[in-house]
Structure 1
Amino acid sequence: MKWTEVQEIALQLADAHPEVDPLKINFVDLMNWVIALPEFDDDPAHCGERVLEAIQQAWIDEVA
């Protein structure tokens, strides 16, 4: 899974962290959780604020 697979990342984060409110997560934790996903296989340096915002929004939409 790559950074561009925002929807899939959001789904996996929602499954892995059902107790977390995605509105309250900081970007450092979010990035670390994405990198820790078992299927994630991309360069952490390719992550930026826009990517994290997109992942956070997709996660919010998923749990809403």
Structure 2
Amino acid sequence: MGLKWDQAEEIAEVLAENHPGLNPLDARFTDLRQWTVDLDEFDDDRNASTEGKLEAIQMAWHAIYKEQNEDDSE
């Protein structure tokens, strides 16, 4: 069973691994959508993305990014 659009946290974890060091707030939604549908684990309707789903993925990824980079800000 693959990843679906509503699995923001799981998608964010994979994107964080695939794009280390990238602040997800700097990513355009068009790129975020493409990176998501290109994931090997992704198994959902490519056209079923919405702004809300992309924002949820971006915010989940941002939480991971902040956690991974909090040592750098100290």
- Give the TM-score, by structure 1 length: 0.96
Percent of counterpart pairs with the same letter?
45
TM superposition outliers: structure 1 runs of 4+ over 3 Å:
none
The match for 2:69 is none
The alignment status of 1:19 with 2:21, answered yes or no, reads yes
- What letter matches 2:58 in structure 1? Q
Unaligned runs of 5+ in 2: 67-74
- What letter matches 1:56 in structure 2? Q
The match for 1:49 is 51
Unaligned runs of 5+ in 1: none
The one of the two structures with greater contact order (alpha-carbon pairs below 8 A, sep at least 6) is 1
CA distance in 2 between counterparts of 1:9 and 1:36 reads 11
The alignment status of 1:10 with 2:9, answered yes or no, reads no
The match for 1:38 is 40
- What letter matches 1:44 in structure 2? R
Cα displacement string for residues 1-47 of structure 1 (whole angstroms, at most 9, x for unaligned residues): 10011100000000000031101000000000000111001101110
Q: Which has the higher helix share?
A: 1
CA distance in 1 between counterparts of 2:21 and 2:59 reads 17
Report the aligned-residue RMSD: 0.7
**Between Structure 1 and Structure 2, how many residues are aligned?**
64
